[in-house]
Structure 1
Amino acid sequence: MEIKVLESIFAANENLADKNAEVFKEKGIFAINLMSSPGAGKTSFILETARRLSGHHKAAVIEGDIASKVDAEKVREHGIETVQINTGGACHLEANMIQKSLEYLDLTGVDLLIIENVGNLVCPADFVLGESARVVILSVPEGDDKPLKYPTIFSSCEVLIINKIDMLALSDFSMERLEDTVRKLNPNVNVIPLSCRTGEGFDAWMGWLEDKLSGALGL
Structure 2
Amino acid sequence: MAEQTIALEQPILSRNERLATELRDRFARTGTYVVNVLSSPGSGKTSTILATNERLAARGLRCAVIEGDIASDVDAVRMKEAGMPAIQINTGGLCHLEGNMIGQAVDAFDDAVGLDAIDVIFIENVGNLVCPVDFDLGENLSIMILSVPEGDDKPLKYPGIFQHAGALLLNKVDVAPAFDFDFDAYGSTLDDLNPTAPRFEVSATRGQGMDAWCDWLAEEIEAARTPQA
**How does the TM-score come out when normalised to structure 1?**
0.96
Answer whether contact 2:32 2:116 (CA < 8 A) is retained. Answer: no
Q: Post-superposition shift, 1:71?
A: 0.3
Q: Counterpart of 2:19?
A: 16
Aligned to 1:43, which of 37, 46, 49? 46
5 Å-filtered alignment, 1:145-160, equals 145-160=153-168
| Closer/same/farther in 2, CA of residues 85 and 3 from structure 1, 3 Å limit | same
Q: Post-superposition shift, 1:3?
A: 6.7
Q: Post-superposition shift, 1:203?
A: 1.4
- The number of residues matched between the two structures is 219
CA distance, structure 2, for counterparts of residue 5 and residue 171 of structure 1: 42
2:193 corresponds to 1:189: no
5 Å-filtered alignment, 1:1-219, equals 4-55=7-58, 56-105=60-109, 106=113, 107-218=115-226
Note the alpha carbon deviations across 1:172-200, whole angstroms, 9 max, x for none: 11222111101211121111101012111
Q: Which runs of 4+ in 1 moved over 4 A?
A: none
Aligned residues: CA RMSD:
1.3
CA distance, structure 1, for counterparts of residue 121 and residue 168 of structure 2: 18
Larger Rg: 2
Unaligned runs of 5+ in 2: none
Answer whether contact 2:17 2:136 (CA < 8 A) is retained. Answer: yes
Unaligned runs of 5+ in 1: none
Identity %: 47
| Closer/same/farther in 2, CA of residues 2 and 79 from structure 1, 3 Å limit | farther
| Greater mean deviation of Cα atoms: 35-44 or 1-10 | 1-10
Q: Post-superposition shift, 1:108?
A: 3.7
**How does the TM-score come out when normalised to structure 2?**
0.92
